[in-house]
Structures are given as C-alpha cells and as structure tokens.
Structure 1
C-alpha cells in the first residue's frame, strides 16, 4: 500500500511539473510571436563603393585597401569622395594603432 501511495504522489507531481512546463512554453511562443523581427541588412558592394570613394585619391590602391577593410567591418561607406562621415559612424570612428583615422 505504501508503494502505491508513493507512486500516486510521484505521478501527481510529474503531471504538475509537466503542466507548468507546457504553460511556460505557450507563454514564450506568444511572446516571441508578438516581437517584430527586422530583416538583416544585406552586405553592400564594398568594391564598388570604395572605387567611387577613392577615385580622386592620390594613392588609389592604398585608399581602396583601407576603404575595403573599413567597409567589411562596418558594412557602410560614406557617399562622395571625402567627408560625409556622419552618415557612417563606425567608418568614421575606426583608427590605426597611432590613433589616426583608418578609413579614407
């Protein structure tokens, strides 16, 4: 008789725990469905953007190499051949080991 009481208590406890787990899962599904997801940004064409950025540079190969590194890390290149750094903060804030601006 003692075994059957223990068995009934264990079954009751397992059903109670399972019920709580099901409710928690349903709550998470409702919460995750109400969150709006943004689509990830597409990788930009760094080659084309850096070609346009470095076209007037006195050292275009060096400019394109630095620009390509910055573009790959930031996924943006400011428009125009110089300036406009406010449109891409990551690009503007990247520095070399000597604390000089890395990106052209």
Structure 2
C-alpha cells in the first residue's frame, strides 16, 4: 500500500515536500535562535550602548541557517 502512494505522488511531489521542509524547518530554527539572541542583545544594549554593533552582528548570524536551507531546497529541486 505504501508503494502505491509513492507511485501515485511521484518524484516531483516528494521533491517539493522535501524542499518545503528544508526551508520551513530552517526558518523556524532561525526564528527561535534569533528570539533568544535578540532578547539578550537588547538587554546588553540597555546596560551598555556601545554593544549595538556586536548585538546586531550576533542577531544576523542565525539567518545563514535559512540560506543553507534555501541552498538545500534548490539542490533538491
């Protein structure tokens, strides 16, 4: 029965699901990481305003995870 489902869906459907999962899950992981880093950066900047640049850089770093997910999705499709 499982082989009938795979044969019916085809390779294109499974590739689309895999590409969507690659981008979606990496986006979710990036959002969780950015939430934690962003709140810590705001707390640090409240105490010392000169930490703005470091906080900004540390907040942007998790975005690379989404770029890797996009690359994987493009390689899948």
TM range (shorter): 0.3 to 0.5
TM-score by length of 2: 0.35
**Structure with higher RCO (Cα < 8 A, 6+ apart):** 2
**Higher gyration radius (CA):** 1
